[in-house]
Amino acid sequence: MRSNRAKARAGVSLAATLPLLAGALALGIPAAHAADNPGRATLAGTKPTWATATADRGATSDATKVTARVYLAGRDAAGLTAYATAVSDPKSPQYGKYLSAKEAQRRFGATKAQIIAVTEWLTASGLKVTGTTAHYLTVTGDATAVQKAFAARLHNYTKGNRTYRAPERAASVPAALRDAVLTVSGLDNAPHKASHKDTLPPPDAVFRNSGPFSSYYGSNTATTLPKAYGQHVPYAVRGYTGKQLRAAYGARSATGKGVTVAITDAYASPTIAQDAAAYAKKNGDAPYKKGQLTQVLPDDYTKTEECGAAGWYGEETLDVEAVHAVAPQANIVYVGGASCYDDDLLDSLSKVVDSHLADIVSNSWGDLESNQTPDLAAAYDQIFQLGAVQGIGFYFSSGDDGDEVANTGTKQVDMPANSAWVTAVGGTSLAVGKGDKYQFETGWGTTRAALSADGKSWTDFPGAFNSGAGGGTSRTVPQPSYQKGVVPNALAKANRPAGNRVVPDIAAVADPNTGFLVGQTQTFPDGSQQYSEYRIGGTSLAAPVIAAVQALAQQERGKPIGFANPALYQRYGSKVYHDVVDKPNGKEYAVARVDFANTYDASEGLLTSVRSLGKDSSLKAVRGYDDVTGVGSPAPGYVESWRRH
């Protein structure tokens, strides 16, 4: 998952029992003046944990302008959860009996009457409703009106070396709207939306890999470099191609024909069409047919500098080219977010669901679970459940920093991969040998040791943790039923006796040292923009690879797979998975890698290192389920196994 992380708070959804609201207003109980009225319903999670008394720096100015989202929960939130569960469970008589997008909205979406009632309450509070969608209302107003509506004063709080706005207590709504308002976002530190139209920047500065390379794992041994684990190790591969990945994960005749995969990221690469076509031609993938790759983009973009917009171009390029390489006849629709913030990424997911743009959705982005609030989790889960009832499955990268201790000092998982309603994709180091033969996988976890000055040894071998697949036990999400009996109690109950969600669910290649060759237009030192190719990895690679494998499986099945986790876990322990371990064949593995010091050419020297495989922070890939690779990676027979479901 590169460095692209969603950094803003998001809103959640609301649902309304509006006749009760009308009655309350008729009785003279104005919702706007409910601060000292006991008839309030609290919106859990709207006061962030960092808004403490010791961090309080005083009240926010009453004139401060606030933009917020009030999310609509729909008319039957409990029914939505129940139906999403039933249609995704192979043991249920309702399994696979999906609804259309219109049917899902009619059955579970907010009614016009509910939207009108929420709108009237907000307007009566002094807020202006500036936009209405099927999922939320956007409102603006000053802090006085916000405090009046949600019965919570806004204060300024320090967090780290910055100051943010947040409610001094959890926001609430009139009890009559208890079932209408799921939550509100924007009361805390979410920045204002940019008021001007941002222009997307040019492509990022060029990155290229230095050789020597292996064309397949083990083809080129570094005999002039020091040994590691008692033997000379191979050079890192130049980058696997679709042919090698399809062979590794059991893709035979299936091509993804008739299946559409959606990809969500922020922004949009201005050269994606030409880059994807050039890559396919150079690397033996099928050429794109007319209309096979399409984009759904926002009217404008915001926060381009803050989010590093150009960095997201590579994310889109990787995702598109990886899906096409593994499922060459699948249709791909890219849905770009206006920024890297949760509200905009939620909008992208909503577009997929509301218009049923695809049955499979690949998402190579996320944030730390500690940055997630209950309202944000609810907003995402509602979209995932609305997708599930339509037969749409979401696949999320599990993260690239292992247990996150080296990154944050705290052991934790990433979100939205922690949701019980998505398939979290972990990572492996993959060895594909001569003739595209699968050799082995380890859990993706890399340590790095540099070559000594005299070239005779590796310094501090095996070196410090460098990167690895995200995984572990959630602190906030209860254990889903499909993980019971599969996930070991030592993992499931690591944070509480009742058990929690463990990440990931399944895995595929992610190690950048055994990564995928990608082609992208980049900005060269002379200012020119040229197409070039480089090797890349991360669970940003694993997610689209698994999404593409699922497209092959859906083609075999002949109907949508939908939310896949119950069926994935039902296959646990069978031969359709590679049971990935850190020491396959009882051995330690490593590769040698040479990099340009300036990331582009040898003019400023080369950096030589050895990268050990299967060393993912405190996480371990072991026999059976583990928190690096989940149930394992797809093996021959996996794709065909869906014919029986």
Work out the burial of residue 645: count CB atoms within 10 Å of its CB; fewer than 13 is exposed, 13-18 middle, 19 or more buried: middle
Token code pair at residue 545: 């690879």
Give the residue from 223, 320, 213, 218 showing the smallest Cα distance to 265.
Answer: 320
Instruction: Specify the pLDDT at position 199.
Output: 56
What superfamily would CATH give domain 242-644? Peptidase S8/S53 domain (3.40.50.200)
DSSP 592-631: EEEEETTSS-GGG-EEEEEEESS--TT----SSSBTTTBT
Work out the burial of residue 194: count CB atoms within 10 Å of its CB; fewer than 13 is exposed, 13-18 middle, 19 or more buried: middle
Instruction: Specify the pLDDT at position 645.
Output: 59
Q: Which residues contact 538 (CB under 8 A, 6 or more apart)?
A: 1, 2, 364, 397, 400, 427, 467, 510, 512
Instruction: Specify the pLDDT at position 113.
Output: 85
CA distance 364 to 373: 20
Work out the burial of residue 38: count CB atoms within 10 Å of its CB; fewer than 13 is exposed, 13-18 middle, 19 or more buried: exposed
Instruction: Compute CA distances 14 → 27, 43, 316, 611, whole Å.
Output: 23, 10, 32, 49
Instruction: Specify the pLDDT at position 180.
Output: 87
Could you tell me the mean pLDDT of each successive run of 10 residues in the chain, 645 residues long?
A: 33 26 27 50 85 93 93 90 97 97 95 90 96 94 95 91 91 89 80 41 90 97 97 98 97 96 97 97 97 96 93 96 98 97 94 98 95 85 97 98 95 97 98 98 98 96 96 97 98 97 98 97 94 96 98 97 98 97 97 96 97 98 98 97 82
Give the residue from 276, 477, 468 showing the smallest Cα distance to 384.
Answer: 477
Sign for the pseudo-dihedral over CA of 351, 357, 361, 363: negative
Give the residue from 289, 291, 311, 309 showing the smallest Cα distance to 301.
Answer: 309
Q: What is the mean pLDDT of the chain?
A: 90
Asked if 148 and 35 touch (Cβ cutoff 8 Å), the reply is yes
Q: Given the DSSP bridges, would you call strands 293-296 and 331-337 parallel, antiparallel or unpaired?
A: parallel
Instruction: Specify the pLDDT at position 642.
Output: 96
Asked if 51 and 168 touch (Cβ cutoff 8 Å), the reply is yes
Q: How many CB atoms lie within 10 A of CB 22?
A: 13
